[in-house]
Amino acid sequence: MKYLKLFFGFTLGFLITLALLELFLQSAEVNALTNAKQDKVLGSRLNPNSNFLYFNEGFSIGKVNAYGYYGPSYPRTKDANVERIALIGDSYVEGVQVFERNHFRNKLENLLNQVNNSSNSYQVLNFGRSGFNLNDSYCYYENFVKQFNPTVKLIFVSPGDLVNRGPIASRPYALLQNEDIVIDYGFSKSEKYKFKESTAAFRGKSVILGYILKTLELIRTDNYKYILFGKFSSIGEVTERKTKKERKKEILSDITKKIILKLRNQDCIFVVHTETTVNDYDYLVKDFLEFSKENKVKVINFSPLFEKLKTNNINYNYWPVTNKKGHFNERGHNEIAKLLYEMINKSKN
Amino acid sequence: MLFNSFIFFIFLLIVVPLYYNLGVKHRKLLVLLSSYVFYGYWDYRFTILLAISTFVDFFIGRKLYAVDNKNIKKRLLLLSVCVNLGILGLFKYYDFFIDSFSVFAGQFNQNLDYLHLNIILPVGISFYTFQTMSYTIDIYREKLKPTNSIIDFAVFVSFFPQLVAGPIERARNLLPQIAINKLPSKEQINSGIVLIVLGLFKKVLIGDTTGRIVDQVFSQPELYKSPELLSALVLFSIQIYADFSGYSNIARGTAKLLGFELMKNFEQPYLSRNITEFWRRWHISLSSWLKDYLYITLGGNRKGNFITYLNLFITMLLGGLWHGASWNFVIWGGLHGLYLAIHKIILKKKKVELTDYVYNGFYSFSKYFLQVLLTYIIVLFAWLFFRSTDFNTSSYFIEKMIYWETSDLSVRFFKITFFFTVVTLLYDFIEYRTKQHSFIVLIRNKPLRIGILLAIFLVTLLYMFNTEPLPFIYFQF
């Protein structure tokens, strides 16, 4: 009886405090709950109308729209006099490092609608998803983006996105079958997906549980040593890193080439950005540009813009607060919007 | 090492059990060694400065006590002050003054850039130089007998729980404790653990989390709208308080685990009814240091009203400069000096007592509430200058507050600010009512108490594991 009383007291104190802390963490948005949920077709889908708060290089507060993408809630159907531009790609397109009002999606839309002599109006939709490569973008385009009837499709690729990394356990994967592209949805049978699906209800509702799962992931992937031991973590460790030369085994794979050609046939325009970070796969872009030229694929290359910005000492991907280099900062978004605006205008004329 | 890092807790797990198993003499040596390891973790070269300060003040202290000649005493004190302020001046203010003179020299086409030294500021230098200076000044004023043990004095200067961010201890409080060096009582250990857990919660889950927003907004205020800027300013007032008071709690808790009692540094400052009360509740170890060693040295209130006001103003102005080599801190200090002088004029000869508010009907509560709010608003206004990196940022903020523009994110920003405010005030309210920083020890049911503490500690550690730690704001001072 005595021990039961002790156990009861301890559990009561522990659980009530946990509940109060959870309430605080959620209300003060110390860490936002995950804004994606598992989906048997898309792999993961952004929760419509979910709030997010992002901290890493930059900081932003925002909301996923009612249809599960970023920006204003434009419905699937569109009026005939609306030009709809879809932005498809990875975290550079997603751009949660900046507020929506500073994202190039918003700036481009404003520019197009401000200086617009025709009766047409423009809508720019952001379908960017963090971690996507070209294969993922293709699947997302086929399964989701198309439903919104975009007239202009901009597929953003950085060097790493051109690497064919093979199927992964959480997303659909496009593969070649008898020279045709087929999307494989076998991921939904993987253990990882099933685990994520079964824990989604908790993860989506508890910040603390999110911490626990992330902590376990850090431990599992061996990324905890510096966190725990600081400067002493590297003692006795030999760092293994593949050299750039070793990595240069990648080539533009058949499936990647096929995806590029298929997207070309659907009037997609590729936007290449190489100068954001030093990347082990920079050389792949050269192959991609040559392949595109041979096959008349429309490409917008950001390299000249970034070179110009660099020459003028304009930081387009530096984050002073966190002292990190990576995704486009507000200035970068501004310049990209201007460039895309010019390109779209030029193509109209 | 940072208190809000895992390496610090590993360090504690090694030092504390070892400490309990050693004799008095070895315990002192262990604390000394641990303190140098703790400080050297940032940069081992910093420990040289610590050793210089220790040796100079130890020998000057003994000499000061031994000689009777007033002139020699004065010269010795001057030497101690010059060495300490010289180190502080060189590392902290040299480049600032060169910058400031550069503007002036620029008028005559002179470039002083070549005079910059670009030295790294040693962590917590302002804290331990002030602490060692108080030792020699107290001996000069014949309020203190010097210690004969260099080990005791070295522990006093480098005592790791309060080395880098205070509380700025007085020798008359800490040295006798070092000399006896007794093991902690059970109550001290209990209270120490609670202080560490609550301090860590405050520093990490309130201070760091508000700080992430504040840092982003203040770095590029032009990207934000009026409600967002106002939220960031309020969040900064919470951040600096949670960050510093949380850190002080961890310092006091750690000291208690080793059997030492450090002074309280904060007593719910945002519940103050006027600015004088605020300064008795905010950074108490610094404000009392400034009062004892600067305000009183300047003459205090002994030379008539005008000089009293002027002394208050000068003390706070220099107090502002102590925080950092920037004109923004000078403006912040100047504003507080002005507030205090005005309040003294209003008070006339009346003294401000630190009495607790007792509810006595709606009218008295409304009056109390308005007084607290007004005090908070003027403190908040001064925080703007403290946090802004330059005067342009401050004026941009003010402009945005006058020419208000709305934002579609106002509700989200205000909601975040509201919940941080509620938690901070609730925490302070419990401290205020219980008069205990380690108020959880008052819960008599032990398992319940342990359950609460463990939950707080666990969630804080989980957050720390998943997020990069923000350094303590006052490290830069």
Query: In angstroms, rounded to a whole number, what is the distance separating the alpha carbons of residues B132 and B149?
Result: 15
Neighbours of B366 (CB within 10 A): 10
pLDDT for the residue B196: 97
A333 contacts: CB under 8 Å, gap ≥ 6: A95, A98, A102, A103, A104, A107
pLDDT for the residue A251: 77
For residue A272, which phi and psi values (nearest 5 degrees)? -105, 130
Angstroms from B36 CA to nearest CA on chain A = 16
Q: Which residues pair with A324 in a beta bridge?
A: A319
Angstroms from B443 CA to nearest CA on chain A = 11
Cβ–Cβ below 8 Å for B465 and A320: no
Looking at residues B448-456, what average pLDDT do you find? 96
- The 8-class DSSP code of residue A188 comes to G
Report yes or no: B51 at the A interface, CB cutoff 8 Å.
no
Cβ–Cβ below 8 Å for A13 and B447: yes
pLDDT for the residue A118: 72
Neighbours of B471 (CB within 10 A): 14
Report yes or no: A19 at the B interface, CB cutoff 8 Å.
no
Looking at residues B145-165, what average pLDDT do you find? 93
pLDDT for the residue A330: 94
Query: In angstroms, rounded to a whole number, what is the distance separating the alpha carbons of residues B326 and A43?
Result: 52
Nearest alpha carbon to residue B284 among B194, B155, B169: B169
CA A205 to chain centre: 23
B182 contacts: CB under 8 Å, gap ≥ 6: B259
Instruction: Please determine, for residue B331, whether its predicted confidence score (pLDDT) is greater than 70.
Output: yes
- Residues B237-246: pLDDT tens digits? 999 999 999 9
- Indicate the residue of B415, B452, B465 with minimum beta-carbon distance to A13: B452
- Indicate the residue of B415, B423, B466 with minimum beta-carbon distance to A214: B466
Instruction: Please determine, for residue B342, whether its predicted confidence score (pLDDT) is greater than 80.
Output: yes
- Per CB-CB distance under 8 Å, the chain B contacts of A21 are 455-456, 459
Neighbours of B84 (CB within 10 A): 23
Quote the mean pLDDT of chain B.
90
Between B474 and A17, the more confident residue is A17
- Indicate the residue of B420, B445, B465 with minimum beta-carbon distance to A227: B465
Q: Chain B interface, mutation test: which of A17, A49, A208, A323, most B Cβ atoms within 10 Å?
A: A17
Angstroms from B108 CA to nearest CA on chain A = 29
Looking at residues B319-324, what average pLDDT do you find? 86
Report yes or no: B389 at the A interface, CB cutoff 8 Å.
no
ipTM score of the complex?
0.88
- The 8-class DSSP code of residue A64 comes to B
CA B322 to chain centre: 11
Query: In angstroms, rounded to a whole number, what is the distance separating the alpha carbons of residues A296 and A293?
Result: 5
Nearest alpha carbon to residue B97 among B312, B321, B311: B321
Instruction: Give pLDDT tens digits along chain A (349 positions).
Output: 778 888 999 999 999 999 999 999 999 998 877 788 888 899 989 999 999 998 888 899 999 999 999 999 999 999 989 999 999 999 999 999 999 999 999 999 999 998 766 778 999 999 999 989 999 999 999 999 999 999 999 999 988 888 888 888 788 999 888 888 999 998 888 888 888 888 777 777 888 988 888 888 888 877 778 888 777 776 555 555 555 555 556 678 889 999 999 999 988 999 988 765 555 667 788 888 889 999 999 999 888 888 888 889 889 999 988 888 889 999 999 999 999 999 888 877 6
Residues 150-209 of A with CB under 8 A from B: 208
Pairing status of strand A268-272 against strand A299-301: parallel
Q: Chain B interface, mutation test: which of A11, A18, A22, A51, most B Cβ atoms within 10 Å?
A: A18
Q: Model pTM?
A: 0.90
pLDDT for the residue B114: 66
Cβ–Cβ below 8 Å for B451 and A14: yes
Q: Give, in degrees to the nearest 5, the angle at Cα B115 between B110 and B120.
A: 145
Q: Between the CA of residue A315 and those of A93, A97, A118, B182, B213, what are the distances in Å?
A: 18, 15, 35, 57, 22
Neighbours of B96 (CB within 10 A): 16
Between B177 and B96, the more confident residue is B177
**CA closest to B225 among chain A residues:** A101
Cβ–Cβ below 8 Å for B459 and A14: no
- Residues B423-435: pLDDT tens digits? 999 999 999 999 9
Annotated catalytic residue B283: no
Residue A113: CA count within 13 A, CB half-sphere: 15
Nearest alpha carbon to residue A284 among A157, A137, A155: A157
Looking at residues B168-182, what average pLDDT do you find? 92
Report yes or no: B419 at the A interface, CB cutoff 8 Å.
yes
pLDDT for the residue B118: 65
Query: In angstroms, rounded to a whole number, what is the distance separating the alpha carbons of residues B346 and A64?
Result: 54
The full DSSP string for B38-76 is HHHTT-TTHHHHHHHHHHHHHHHHHHHHH---HHHHHHH
Neighbours of B156 (CB within 10 A): 26
Looking at residues B164-186, what average pLDDT do you find? 91
Length of chain B: 477
pLDDT for the residue B359: 82
Residue A286: CA count within 13 A, CB half-sphere: 8
- Residues B247-263: pLDDT tens digits? 999 999 999 999 999 99
Size of the A and B interface in Cβ pairs below 8 Å: 111
- Indicate the residue of A25, A208, A320 with minimum beta-carbon distance to B219: A320
Residues 227-286 of A with CB under 8 A from B: 227-232
- Residues B376-393: pLDDT tens digits? 999 999 999 999 988 889
pLDDT for the residue B112: 66
Query: In angstroms, rounded to a whole number, what is the distance separating the alpha carbons of residues B53 and B38?
Result: 17
Report yes or no: A77 at the B interface, CB cutoff 8 Å.
no
pLDDT for the residue B226: 96
Among B26, B116, B283, B323, the active-site one is B323
Query: In angstroms, rounded to a whole number, what is the distance separating the alpha carbons of residues B293 and B286?
Result: 10
- Indicate the residue of A13, A61, A215 with minimum beta-carbon distance to B412: A61
Residue B369: CA count within 13 A, CB half-sphere: 8
